[in-house]
């Protein structure tokens, strides 16, 4: 079986107008009643055309993590900016994020 990116497959199925409750990396797809529907013709067509490459946002988040940009750091920088009127940390994080975005895009 080809590689499956479950997050992206979910989006592709929903975009195709197929109501699902979920799917997994093995290509199993469940309808809203929790029945397996991966062998249904319309579902199979979407799976066959599935692009397993990560979403651009997922790639960007991974690059942020590699650079040490965590949610925790972002929250504290934002808190400091909003509540303490000190944007030093937020500005430094934003600058780093801008640099990463330029490299990824």
Is 62 a residue whose pLDDT tops 70?
Answer: yes
Predicted confidence (pLDDT) per residue in 10-32, tens digit: 999 999 999 999 999 999 999 99
Interatomic CA distance for residues 65 and 67, integer angstroms? 5
The more confident residue out of 28 and 1 is 28
Q: What residues does each domain of the chain span?
A: 6-48, 56-104
Contacts of 99 (CB under 8 A, 6+ apart): none
Q: Quote the pLDDT of residue 1.
A: 55
């Amino acid at each position: 079986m080809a590689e499956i990116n479950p997050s992206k497959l979910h989006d592709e199925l929903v975009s195709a107008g197929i109501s699902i409750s979920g799917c997994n990396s093995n290509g199993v797809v469940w309808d809203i009643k929790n029945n397996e529907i991966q062998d249904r013709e319309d579902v199979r067509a979407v799976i066959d055309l599935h692009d397993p490459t990560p979403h651009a946002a997922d790639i960007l988040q991974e690059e942020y993590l590699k650079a040490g940009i965590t949610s925790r750091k972002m929250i504290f920088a934002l808190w400091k900016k909003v509540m303490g009127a000190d944007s030093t940390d937020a500005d430094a994080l934003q600058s780093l994020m801008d640099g990463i975005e330029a490299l990824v895009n």
